[in-house]
Chains A and B, each alone.
Chain A
Amino acid sequence: MSIWEYANPTKFLKTTQPVMPWITGAGIVAVTVALVWGFFFTPDDFRQGSTVKIIYIHVPAAMMAINAWVMMLVASLIWLIRRHHVSALAAKAMAPIGVSMTLIALATGAIWGQPMWGTWWAWDPRLTSFLILFLFYLGYMALWAAIEDPDTAADLTAILCIVGSVFAVLSRYAASFWNQGLHQGASVITTDKNTEVSSVFYQPLLIAIAGFFLLVLGLLLMRTGTEVRKRRARALLNRATREGV
């Protein structure tokens, strides 16, 4: 019994599809709890007032946006090395989730930045690297969409994902070299208590992060399942055409 057994599409579907609604449900519950707790039962920040509450969407979305790309990178490597189709399809399924998370992070960041910094957008390293990440996602999805043959598309997007990861990291550091920006430093997972988000906000934030993670996982399983079924339908159609039915 090894983890590679789940690379078998049938086994994958059998295992993941029954748990998928539970994961998604748990995600929805956790996000709801975190948002209600965060919006109604935490005090206003002494400097930022009530605008601080957008943190419960902004921070988890931003984390998931990056995690989604890392997951696509791992899935692409697995596809290139071991040629498991489920892996390639999972990477394909992840891209739209990642792009929506990036968009949410950019949008909530703009809404938060307007009252705090007095501007919707600044050419700050974090903001800029997220914009570049957004472009990477768009290019990745466009390449998937442009190529007819699924295996060719999987190969090409996997290589693009790997090259893109290198340049994404490079852009991140290039951007922070280029401009020291407005965005605050790390304040969620730190070793220094002084810069950390106060625990009043911390507890609902952790629940929100967990909720977003579960939601992304649930969506990923759902979309991967769909992709597997689409692939099967395609194979059946191809066979039907060949046999002239």
Chain B
Amino acid sequence: MIALFIRDLRLAVRAGGGFGLALAFFLIVVILVPFGIGPQVELHARVAPGILWVGALLAALLSLDRIFALDHEDGSLPLIATAPIPLEGVSLAKAAAHWVTTGLPLVVVAPVLGVLMNLPPAGFGWLSLSLLLGTPALSMIGTFGAALVVGVRRGGLLMSLLVLPLYVPTLIYGAEVARRGTEGFTVLTPILLLGAISLGSVALLPFAAAAVLRVNLR
């Protein structure tokens, strides 16, 4: 499992594109939105948590294709499946690699981009914390979605449609933590629920993803 995880990390960093793609996309969103909504600073500060969360979600969505599709194309997926680790472990390792290459960088750069969006300084910590708690759920749900469409040619668009409604609860609670934290309200309820979604996804979805992979590799 660890070997697979490290292999995926190496591929993402070396093959180019994969690692920087999510970050670049995140940056593009944050640069373009102010042009779209006009130069009112107070407005930026108000919508910043939501925009940053939507940006993070779309950045994660963009890179989901890489999780299984490349391995499926070059034929290494059946080899991985016959390796002596269960498919549940494979999907968990894949999701972890995806999180380290997309979720974690987003957590780190979010405060910097928060500055661009005029996010009040009080919100930086909450924004990073909410992303740290929420992005594992995004990666795990995405891994399930990617496993679903592994056998479908050009399944990218289909996967977006499948994954989008699954992302909604994470987005709602994640943005709520960031917003409430920024405005100085209590964040206990959304933060617990956000953590619950992430833990629940990581605990249960590997089984669903493995079941789906088994069907697809049959």
What residues make up the interface of A, taking CB atoms closer than 8 Å to B?
Answer: 132, 135-136, 138-139, 142-143, 146-147, 152, 155-156, 159-160, 162-164, 167-168, 170-171, 174-175, 177-178
Q: Is the CB of A170 within 8 A of B151?
A: no
CB distance from A103 to the nearest CB of B (A): 16
Partner of A146, one of B155, B169, B189, B197: B155
CB distance from B75 to the nearest CB of A (A): 19
Partner of A152, one of B151, B161, B190: B151
CB distance from A128 to the nearest CB of B (A): 8
CB distance from B65 to the nearest CB of A (A): 15
Q: Is the CB of A135 within 8 A of B161?
A: yes
Binds A, one of B5-13, B27-35, B37-45, B208-216: B208-216
In the complex, whether B199 has a CB less than 8 A from a CB of chain A is: no
Q: Is the CB of B208 within 8 A of A159?
A: yes
Interface of A, helix, strand, loop or mixed by DSSP: helix
Q: CA separation between A177 and B171, bound complex, in Å?
A: 13
In the complex, whether B19 has a CB less than 8 A from a CB of chain A is: no
In the complex, whether B109 has a CB less than 8 A from a CB of chain A is: no
Q: Is the CB of B172 within 8 A of A178?
A: yes
What residues make up the interface of B, taking CB atoms closer than 8 Å to A?
Answer: 144, 148-149, 151-152, 155, 158, 161-162, 164-166, 168-169, 172-173, 176, 189-190, 193, 197, 205, 208, 211-212, 215-216, 218
Q: Is the CB of B165 within 8 A of A164?
A: yes
Given contacts A143-B148, A160-B148, 19 further A-B contacts (CB under 8 A): A135-B164, A139-B164, A146-B149, A147-B151, A147-B152, A152-B218, A156-B212, A163-B166, A163-B205, A167-B168, A170-B169, A170-B197, A171-B165, A174-B168, A174-B173, A175-B168, A175-B172, A177-B193, A178-B176
Q: CA separation between A144 and B64, bound complex, in Å?
A: 21
Q: CA separation between A152 and B205, bound complex, in Å?
A: 19
Q: CA separation between A8 and B166, bound complex, in Å?
A: 35
Q: Is the CB of B161 within 8 A of A139?
A: yes
CB distance from A200 to the nearest CB of B (A): 38
Q: Is the CB of A146 within 8 A of B144?
A: no
Q: Determine the chain A residues whose CB is within 8 A of the CB of B165 once the complex forms.
A: 132, 135-136, 139, 164, 167-168, 171
CB distance from B72 to the nearest CB of A (A): 14
Could you list 17 examples of A-B contacts with CB < 8 Å? A132-B165, A132-B168, A135-B161, A135-B164, A139-B165, A143-B148, A143-B149, A147-B151, A152-B216, A159-B211, A163-B166, A167-B166, A167-B169, A171-B169, A171-B172, A174-B169, A178-B176
Question: What is the count of residue pairs linking A and B with beta-carbon distances less than 8 angstroms?
Answer: 75
Q: Is the CB of B208 within 8 A of A143?
A: no
Q: A135-B165, A170-B169, A174-B168 are in contact. Are A146 and B218 (CB under 8 A)?
A: no
The 7 closest A-B pairs by CB, nearest first: A174-B169, A135-B165, A155-B215, A139-B162, A174-B172, A170-B169, A178-B172
CB distance from B119 to the nearest CB of A (A): 20
Partner of B166, one of A143, A152, A164: A164
Greatest chain B CB density within 10 A among A136, A143, A156, A162 is at A156
Q: Determine the chain A residues whose CB is within 8 A of the CB of B158 once the complex forms.
A: 139, 142-143, 146
Which A residue sits closest to B171, measured CB to CB?
Answer: A174
Q: CA separation between A58 and B9, bound complex, in Å?
A: 51
Q: Is the CB of B148 within 8 A of A156?
A: yes
Q: Determine the chain B residues whose CB is within 8 A of the CB of A135 once the complex forms.
A: 161, 164-165
CB distance from B61 to the nearest CB of A (A): 14
Which A residue sits closest to B173, measured CB to CB?
Answer: A174
Q: Is the CB of B161 within 8 A of A156?
A: no
Q: CA separation between A135 and B176, bound complex, in Å?
A: 22
Q: CA separation between A155 and B189, bound complex, in Å?
A: 36
Q: Is the CB of B168 within 8 A of A171?
A: yes
Q: Is the CB of A142 within 8 A of B212?
A: no
Q: CA separation between A138 and B164, bound complex, in Å?
A: 11
CB distance from A126 to the nearest CB of B (A): 14
Q: Determine the chain B residues whose CB is within 8 A of the CB of A136 once the complex forms.
A: 165
Q: Determine the chain B residues whose CB is within 8 A of the CB of A132 once the complex forms.
A: 165, 168
CB distance from B24 to the nearest CB of A (A): 27
